[in-house]
Chains A and B, each alone.
Chain A
Amino acid sequence: MTRPLVQEGAAAVGSEASARQAPAAPRPRARRRSKGTATLRGVVLGIGAVAFLFPFYYMVVGSLQRTPDQTLSGLVPDPGNLTLENFAAVNSRISLLTGLLNSGLFTGGVLLCTVVFGVLVGYALAVLEWRGRGATFALVLLVQVIPFQLLQIPLYVLIARDYGLADNLLGMILPFAINSTAVIVFRQYFLQVPREMFEAARIDGAREVRLLWSVAIPLVRPAMVTALLLTFIGPWNEFLWPFLITKQADKQPLAVSLANYISAVASSTANPFGAVTAGALVLAVPVIVLFIVFQRYFVSSDIGSGVKG
């Protein structure tokens, strides 16, 4: 399954570099006009930020309300109406902890496979010369074009029915185990490392596996963090495939159990608004925290420092 997630990293690396350059001082003639433009720009960006952030704010506010208040006044948290009961309410029907654990295992498995196999192919494609390299790279590109709609039914038949991997972690991970976009990104990063560094290590007698482990990977470590982060959000947020393949509640990742809660259970609870937003918050927070903590890896790469140093 290919998602364009990892491209982001590569794209962002480029964007930050030149964004750091301060714009040239405006010419006097254009100054007044550009001031107006700047105000307009600020307004557009401000409206954008509010539109993007508001549902998150509403998620937090809603999850803390004892009695749901969906009117305008409900936007301001009322100290008398605050509670953590909503979290307990969701948790009594779907185990949030089990869901988080399953999401973690699913995501961890996908990450491990993506990185181990992705780095190996990426390295082979960028650094090694072997017969079939061109064809393999063409394949990596081709795989990107195959849409999941086409794979959905045969994969379900194969994995759930033929291999009996329904309600199984392996069955859940398998279609995501290798991310072709990640392969392209790893290849790109390895291509940026000067060839001389590998040649020098080879002359020193380093074998290929060691070379990859102790020379190539440390050089591209920041890029690796970017790729890891971007790969993380794929399986963590994925819904359709785990939904198809897991019917047992205790095997479902949180996205699936929460979706089942929303579509089947929520309406019969006392405060569906609070319960659903509480569950949503639990699902959203790990990714948001990771994103904010590692935010700088989404926009910059230190690949230059390793090479120069």
Chain B
Amino acid sequence: MSAAVGTRRTQERANPEAGLKHRLLGKNPLGLLFSAPYLVFVLAVFAAPVVYAVWIAFHDFFFAAPGADVSYPFVGFANFVYAFSNAQVVQSFGNVGVFLLINVPLTVVLSLLLASALNKVLHARVFLRVSFYLPYITASVALVGVWLFLFGGDGLVNNLLGPLAPNPSWLVNQGLAMPVIAVYVTWKQLGFYILLYLAALQNVPKDLYEQASTDGANAVRQFFSVTVPGVRPATLLVLLVSTVTGANLFTEPYLLTGGGPNGSSNTPVYLMYQLGVEQGLPDVASAIGLVLVVAVLVIAYLQNRFAGGRNE
């Protein structure tokens, strides 16, 4: 590769046409070569599948034997109608709504609180940071294994609560299954958001705190009038990322509750797996995916609009 580059270079110097090449490809055409693998990858693994996803959703698509000559007729919105006339699908979107209503505010409040405490602490910084990040870096499958028993019928939490334990127990209780999953995901992901906030806190001007302190504002006042507005861009990012993560929910309901009881913790992505892969209806699954993505984009737009502020 480098030899070819060398020859090109010498040619450029000797050849007056090299000016044209520069104008066409830029000063270092090698940049395009360096980027080629990435561009090919994006085309193959992102661009093509996105287009394919939309195409599948509007056609009567099914799995055929490799090499079989089959046609997939255009069916308009039939897949969408089929999907959303299924009560389970509608329920799964509602479940994600419940999840987000618990998970997102909890995430924002706890991560900002812990990040600002961590930011000021002098002792045991490394220990605290490591312990806060551990759940985030550990596989959800491994942690779910523990939570499964913690919140099981005769698990530690119920043993601790004694007569106060919910009946039916957490994970088999229609009203509690999704909230437990929401709390689990909050706990699991919090370290990442703490990191985001820690970085953002460094950008809050120190003299704002001094000013507030001179004006007689106590720590709580300072937190609300200096810290909270100061980290607003990070808050927006936390809102967006946690919403997208929540909409992608699959592993936790799959392992903790199996989507139950009575579909009360089923999620769209879990249904996409059940319908698309297990039941051979990839077209219906794709339609659900499309609706889910549009819903997430709408929520993200609203968050950006109302939490992002005007001069961001």
Partner of A143, one of B46, B148, B296: B46
Does the CB pair A11–B137 fall under 8 Å? no
Cα A264 to Cα B52 in complex, Å, equals: 34
How many chain A residues sit at the interface, stated as a range, is 35 or more
Determine which of B114, B159, B203 lies in contact with A72 in the assembled complex, contact meaning CB atoms within 8 Å. Answer: B159
- CB of A121 within 8 Å of the partner chain: yes
A 219-263 binary contact with B (CB < 8 Å = 1; else 0): 000000000000001001101100010000000000110110011
Contact A161 B1 (CB under 8 A): no
Q: Is the CB of A287 within 8 A of B160?
A: no
CB distance from A133 to the nearest CB of B (A): 6
B147 at the A/B interface (Cβ < 8 Å)? yes
Q: CB of A80 within 8 A of chain B?
A: no
- A10-B254 Cα distance, complex, nearest whole Å: 33
Distance between B116 CB and nearest chain A CB, rounded to angstroms:
9
Interface string of A167-178 (1 = CB under 8 A from B): 000000011011
Q: Measured between alpha carbons, how far is A126 from B117 in the docked complex, in Å? A: 36
Cα A131 to Cα B24 in complex, Å, equals 7
Is A120 in contact with B139, judged by CB distance below 8 angstroms?
Answer: no
> In the complex the two chains form, what is the Cα distance from A75 to B272 in whole Å?
39
Q: A4-B192, A45-B118, A161-B63 are in contact. Are A133 and B50 (CB under 8 A)?
A: no
State the Cβ distance, A28 to closest chain B Cβ, in Å. 13
Give chain B residues whose Cβ lies under 8 Å from the Cβ of A128. 26-28, 30-31, 34
Q: Given contacts A154-B52, A209-B2, is CB(A129)–CB(B134) below 8 Å?
A: no
Q: Mark interface residues in A138-162 (1 if CB within 8 Å of B CB, else 0).
A: 0110010011111111111110011
Taking CB atoms, residues of chain B closer than 8 Å to A240 are 250-251, 269, 273
Is A129 in contact with B28, judged by CB distance below 8 angstroms?
yes
Smallest CB separation, B209 vs chain A (Å) = 10
Q: Which residues of B contact A19 (CB under 8 A)?
A: 119, 125, 198, 202
**Do B30 and A291 have beta carbons less than 8 Å apart?**
no
In the complex, the answer to whether B289 meets A23 with C-beta atoms within 8 Å is no
Cβ-neighbour of B56 out of A4, A153, A162, A273 (below 8 A): A153
- Pick from B11-19, B80-88, B149-157, B168-176 the stretch touching chain A: B149-157
In the complex, the answer to whether A298 meets B131 with C-beta atoms within 8 Å is no
In the bound assembly, the distance between CA atoms of A70 and B296 in angstroms comes to 40
| Residue interface bits B31-46, CB-to-A below 8 A is 1, else 0 | 1101101110110011
Contact among B34, B139, B254, B290 with A236 in the assembled complex (CB-CB below 8 Å): B139
- Min CB distance B285 to A, Å, is 5
| CB neighbors of B among A1-46 (8 A) | 4, 7-8, 10-12, 14-15, 17-19, 22-23, 27, 30, 33-34, 37, 41-42, 44-45
Contact of A283 with B by CB under 8 A = yes
Of B26, B120, B121, the residue contacting A130 (CB under 8 A) is B26
Interface size class, chain B: 35 or more
Asked if residues A280 and B141 are in contact (CB atoms below 8 Å), the reply is yes
Chain A 260-302 per-residue mask, 1 if CB under 8 angstroms from chain B, else 0:
0011000000000100110111011001100110010011000
B42, A139: Cβ atoms closer than 8 Å: yes
Near A by CB (< 8 A), chain B positions 253-312 give: 254-255, 258, 268-269, 272-273, 276-277, 282, 285-286, 289-290, 292-293, 296
How close is B205's CB to chain A, nearest CB, in angstroms? 11
Residue on B nearest A120 in the bound complex, by CB: B34
Q: Are B293 and A149 in contact (CB under 8 A)?
A: yes
Tell me which residues across on chain B come within 8 A of A147, comparing CB atoms. Answer: 244, 247-248, 293, 296
Q: Which residues of B contact A155 (CB under 8 A)?
A: 45, 49
Whether B160 pairs with A124 at a CB distance below 8 angstroms is no
CB–CB B34/A49 < 8 A? no
Tell me if B2 and A121 are in contact (CB < 8 A).
Answer: no
Question: What residues of chain B lie closer than 8 Å to A72, measured between beta carbons?
Answer: 156, 159-160
Set of chain B residues within 8 Å of A139, measured between Cβ atoms: 39, 42
Partner of A71, one of B146, B159, B286: B159
With beta carbons under 8 angstroms apart, the residue of B2, B26, B42, B251 that contacts A178 is: B42
* Residue B58 at the chain A interface, CB threshold 8 Å: no
B218 in the interface (beta carbon within 8 A): yes
A255–B37 Cα distance when bound, in Å, is 29
Instruction: Say yes or no: is A125 at the interface (Cβ < 8 Å to chain B).
Output: yes
Q: At the interface, yes or no: A309 with Cβ under 8 Å from chain B? A: no
User: Considering the complex, which residues of chain B in the window 97-144 have a beta carbon less than 8 Å from any beta carbon of chain A?
Assistant: 113-114, 117-122, 125-135, 137-144
Query: Interface residues, chain B, CB within 8 Å of chain A?
Result: 1-2, 5-6, 24-32, 34-35, 37-39, 41-42, 45-46, 48-50, 52-53, 56, 61, 63, 66, 113-114, 117-122, 125-135, 137-150, 152, 154-156, 159-160, 187, 190-192, 195-196, 198-199, 201-203, 213, 218-219, 241, 244, 247-248, 250-251, 254-255, 258, 268-269, 272-273, 276-277, 282, 285-286, 289-290, 292-293, 296
CB-defined A-B contacts under 8 Å, sample of 20: A11-B196, A27-B213, A51-B187, A53-B131, A70-B156, A72-B160, A124-B32, A129-B27, A130-B26, A130-B31, A133-B26, A143-B42, A147-B293, A149-B293, A150-B293, A154-B48, A155-B49, A157-B282, A276-B148, A280-B141
- Sorted from nearest, which 10 A-B pairs have the closest CB atoms? A130-B31, A128-B31, A11-B199, A130-B26, A280-B142, A237-B139, A128-B28, A124-B31, A124-B34, A154-B49
